[in-house]
Structures are given as structure tokens and as C-alpha cells.
Copies of this chain bind each other. A is one copy, B any other.
């Protein structure tokens, strides 16, 4: 099981001893998914918090009209889970699907208590990454309110240039909160402008 990228990531925040690392290795699970497979399905309880070793995921929500809304995209070194469902162990409103063949390292919910007890440093680690996540999510709310779709697209493109190559445009449109047709229009506007 290749947990090295995860360890490297964690050690940006806290230092782990070799015992702690082996404890982690024993309690985490690695899982591979094929393109198209679901890590989580709407209505199920989110039983793991996952770190992406390789691949690409989308978290989305299907509303009452059958419309799909992309909440988050994920690539290597990102975390994916429905945190609300995970912490309360309640049914999720979201789906998480793999857009490429994907490998995840998973923290199982039922091991979290033990992990925190054995490695209290991880309490700090998770606090910090969740804080970052919250700050980023708040910024996204502002952008959705105060910027036009075109401005949001430009920011997205600049922030995650690598993602745009890897996933279809209609998903980016959904992430931006607009229709694929309108994103298409924006792109043609942008090419004309230069």
C-alpha cells in the first residue's frame, strides 16, 4: 500500500514518528476504483474520509428536477468525503464518482476515535485542513455572489489549470453554477476578445 503521498502531505502540518506511521498504515485502507465507479452514493452514509493518491473525482448532488450540481472536484493530494455525513454518520445528499481510474487512501469512520487517541497530533492535523477547507468554501460563496459567471470561470481556470484538461467542460459548467451552453458562450467570447 502506497501511503507515501499521504504521509508527505500530513508532514506539512505535523511530524509523525515511525511508530505512528506504522500504526496509521495498519488502520488505513487503500482502494482502487475504475473510471465511473462511485465512492459514495446519495442516500448512503459516508463511511470513510479519503485522500486521493491518484486520479480524479467529482462530488455532486442531483436535485429534485434530476439536475446535477457539482460541488467539488478532486485530484491528487486532495481530500474527498461528505463531511456532514461522515461526522454525523447520517445519509448523504451527495455522490462521489471517479472521473478517471482512481486510488484512494481511506480513513474509516469507526477507526477515527482510536486514531485520534493513539496519535493526538492528527487531531491538530485534521483541524487545520478543515479550517483551510472552510476558508476556501467561504471564498467560493463570495465569488458566486459577487462575480459574474465569466469572472468565476477565469478565476477557476487560473486556479486549477490542470483540472481543465482532465474533465469535460459540462462538469466545469456545473461546478461554476451555470449551464454548459452558457460556458460555451463565455469561452467563445473570451477567444474573440483577444
Q: Which residues 88-134 of A have a CB within 8 angstroms of B?
A: 93, 116, 120, 123-124, 126-128, 130-134
Closest to A132 in B: B87
A137 in contact with B137 given A83-B131, A144-B177 (CB within 8 Å):
yes
Is the CB–CB distance between A141 and B142 below 8 Å? no
- A1 contacts chain B at the CB level, 8 A cutoff: no
Q: Contact at B144–A144, with CB atoms within 8 Å?
A: yes
A177 CA to B141 CA, complexed, in Å: 10
Q: How many copies does the complex hold?
A: 2
What's the Cα separation between A133 and B131 when bound, in Å?
A: 9
Q: B residues within 8 A CB of A124?
A: 116, 123
- In the complex, per-residue mask of A52-77: 1 if CB is within 8 Å of any chain B CB, else 0: 00000000010100010101000000
For residue A93, which residues in chain B have a CB less than 8 angstroms away from its CB? 139, 142
Chain B: CB-nearest residue to A84: B135
A171 CB to nearest chain B CB (Å)? 13
Q: Does A138 contact B (CB under 8 A)?
A: yes
Contact between A141 and B71, CB atoms less than 8 A apart: yes
In angstroms, how far is the closest chain B Cβ from the Cβ of A161?
A: 22
Please give the distance in Å from A74's CB to the nearest CB on chain B: 14
A83 to chain B, nearest CB (A): 5
| Interface membership of A31, Cβ < 8 A | no
* In the complex, A140 has a CB within 8 A of chain B: yes
Interface contact B141-A83, CB-CB below 8 Å: no
Residues of B within 8 A of A160 (CB): none
3 A-B pairs with the lowest CB-CB distances in the bound complex, closest first = A84-B135, A127-B127, A63-B146
| 6 A-B pairs with C-beta separation under 8 A | A83-B138, A84-B138, A130-B130, A141-B141, A141-B144, A144-B177
